[in-house]
Structure 1
Amino acid sequence: MTDDKTEKLAVLIDAENAQPAIIEELLIEIAKYGTANVKRIYGDWTSPDLKGWKEVLLRYSIQPIQQFRYTSGKNATDSAMIIDAMDLLYTSRFDGFCIVSSDSDFTKLASRIREAGLIVFGFGEKKTPEAFVAACDKFIFTEVLRAKDDDAETIQRKTTGELKQDTKLVTLLRNAVEASSDENGWAHLAAVGSNIAKQASEFDPRNYGYKKLGELVAATRLFQIEERDVGNGHATAVYIRDRRKK
């Protein structure tokens, strides 16, 4: 994505695999990446199970798409959502798609959209199958969207000891720093973040209870952190280096 224009996004929500409690934070999160030019939500609106969604559709200007359940046990909603996504893709009006679901049926759709050169943001619960998570450019677990500053029970902040014991996290951070570092081992934090995003679409500091990457890195105590003046001292940039470097 570029910094000189606002990305046009199509937001498609699987009402049967997402909770209405996330909608406000979901749209705030999506606004970080672009403008939601299309907001559609799919489900059988004759079902009482979707009552919670019905109450928020008008407030957030989300267009409901009716899909009847013709056969028990078959999810017609997924098919309707996939067909609509392809129709929108072929209009060439969008820069990216936001797929809100925890259903693995959207794995192929995400891959197809990316093949067309568009970015895909996925939103789903932590139970979302790895294949769908990996098929997206970035995947945000909706548990972090429901977490509030005063809600310590939703996502517990990991301690330094817990972070150090998380082999996957430590390896991810160290590899990203090494790939982004100069000859002295120092890496710009922003470059580290970009490298991590390419390696793990599901990575998000909030999954560990930290709002930003810098806070998470500092909490691990595995890296040296240095702030440097840039732009004639009018701003600062954060650089980090693996403490194992001599």
Structure 2
Amino acid sequence: MASPRLVAKNEPEEPTLRLAVLIDADNARAAVIESLLAEIARFGEATVKRIYGDFTAPASASWKKVLQKYAIKPVQQFAYTTGKNATDSALIIDAMDLLYTRKFDGFCLITSDSDFTGLAMRLREEGLMVLGFGEKKTPDAFRNACHKFVFTEILRSSSTSESTEPLPEAKTKKKSTRTKAATKAVEQKPEFPEEFVLTALEQSVDDTGWANLSVFGSYLIKLQPDFDSRLYGYKKLSDLVKDKKALFEIEERQLSGSDRKTLYLRAKT
């Protein structure tokens, strides 16, 4: 099976990729589910949405409130013994069952757990697209096993709360402190990887020395699956490129037979 292109949908006539969305409730936050599903929709249609966890446990209370709203099928997994994670096993078994139906073009794995690295690699071996979603604490092994990895901190709105119910004053104060700390952590932008980006650009240029923005973006993701312009404060890669005037020389070109334009860039000498 040929591997589908890892691109977000831009044109309505493009074929819609069929995606299976599998959520590890033990290692994902309900607060980002709306933004997360919107992000997934950029790549294809979530034809299957399942979440795995022990929904009798207090820790899963936030998930129970959103499952019906977003039509996510819960798969109950009791903790049979302390220190063992039944959720991981159930998710992996289901993923393999879905794989062998041959009905899907890709999988979205929502977790920050490196235990799913092997699953991501196995799905890729079958030529399927693998999108990973997790927090910045997610180990490199799982991030790099995905075609594309998105940090959920990017998707988390500072105004989003995991609970809409009123809390006692003391708890509200503590929650407010935690929310501010989390927001501050999200707002802290990492150092821009200038050397990496310029190296990727060098590998993306054509015979004329220019690189198409789309080709450049694809190459960045191939080299570093968790690269995302939003980490550095830019909504789109084109915004980043246009703002880094000291690094890039850009040029807009008319597409042949179309009224649309596309962006080309090269490193400034």
TM-score between the two structures when normalised by the length of structure 2: 0.82
Equivalent position of 2:254 in the other structure: 229
Equivalent position of 2:56 in the other structure: 46
Deviation (angstroms), 1:226: 1.3
- Which stretch of the first structure deviates more once superposed, 223-232 or 89-98? 223-232
Contact 1:147 1:154 in 2 (8 A): no
Q: Distance in 1 between matches of 2:153 and 2:189?
A: 15
Equivalent position of 1:166 in the other structure: none
Equivalent position of 1:192 in the other structure: 216
Q: Distance in 1 between matches of 2:92 and 2:241?
A: 38
Equivalent position of 1:242 in the other structure: 267
Deviation (angstroms), 1:154: 5.9
Letter in 1 for 2:249: Q
Q: How many residues are treated as equivalent by the alignment? A: 236
- Which stretch of the first structure deviates more once superposed, 103-112 or 204-213? 204-213
Equivalent position of 2:104 in the other structure: 94
Q: What aligned pairs does 1:174-189 form with structure 2 within 5 A after superposition?
A: 174-189=198-213
Deviation (angstroms), 1:73: 1.4
Equivalent position of 2:132 in the other structure: 122
Deviation (angstroms), 1:230: 2.4
Equivalent position of 2:242 in the other structure: 218
Q: Percent identity?
A: 55
- Which stretch of the first structure deviates more once superposed, 197-206 or 223-232? 223-232
For structure 1, which runs of at least 5 residues remain unmatched after alignment?
Answer: 164-168
SS in 2 for 1:72: coil
Q: What aligned pairs does 1:111-150 form with structure 2 within 5 A after superposition?
A: 111-147=121-157
User: What are the superposed Cα offsets for residues 223-245 of structure 1, whole Å, 9 maximum, x if unpaired?
Assistant: 1111122245712111111002x
Q: Distance in 2 between matches of 1:218 and 1:157?
A: 22
- The alpha-carbon distance between structure 1 residues 11 and 72, as it changes in their structure 2 partners (threshold 3 A), is same
User: What are the superposed Cα offsets for residues 126-173 of structure 1, whole Å, 9 maximum, x if unpaired?
Assistant: 000000000001000000111469x984643759xx53xxxxx22222
Deviation (angstroms), 1:24: 0.2
The counterpart of 2:67, out of the listed 54, 57, 75, is: 57
Contact 2:189 2:231 in 1 (8 A): no
User: What are the superposed Cα offsets for residues 11-70 of structure 1, whole Å, 9 maximum, x if unpaired?
Assistant: 000011000001000100000111111000000111011110000000000000000001
SS in 1 for 2:103: coil
Moved over 4 A (4+): 151-154
TM-score between the two structures when normalised by the length of structure 1: 0.90
User: What are the superposed Cα offsets for residues 93-135 of structure 1, whole Å, 9 maximum, x if unpaired?
Assistant: 1110000000010000000000011110000000000000000
Letter in 1 for 2:252: E
Q: Distance in 2 between matches of 1:215 and 1:125?
A: 24
Equivalent position of 1:201 in the other structure: 225
User: What are the superposed Cα offsets for residues 68-91 of structure 1, whole Å, 9 maximum, x if unpaired?
Assistant: 001011111011111111111111
Equivalent position of 2:187 in the other structure: 156
Letter in 2 for 1:170: E
SS in 1 for 2:35: helix
Letter in 2 for 1:216: L
Contact 1:147 1:155 in 2 (8 A): no
Letter in 2 for 1:237: T
SS in 2 for 1:94: coil
Task: Quote the RMSD (CA, aligned, Å).
Answer: 2.1
Contact 1:157 1:210 in 2 (8 A): no
- The alpha-carbon distance between structure 1 residues 153 and 218, as it changes in their structure 2 partners (threshold 3 A), is farther
Q: Distance in 2 between matches of 1:10 and 1:76?
A: 20
Contact 1:123 1:142 in 2 (8 A): yes
- The alpha-carbon distance between structure 1 residues 59 and 202, as it changes in their structure 2 partners (threshold 3 A), is same
Equivalent position of 1:32 in the other structure: 42
For structure 2, which runs of at least 5 residues remain unmatched after alignment?
Answer: 160-179
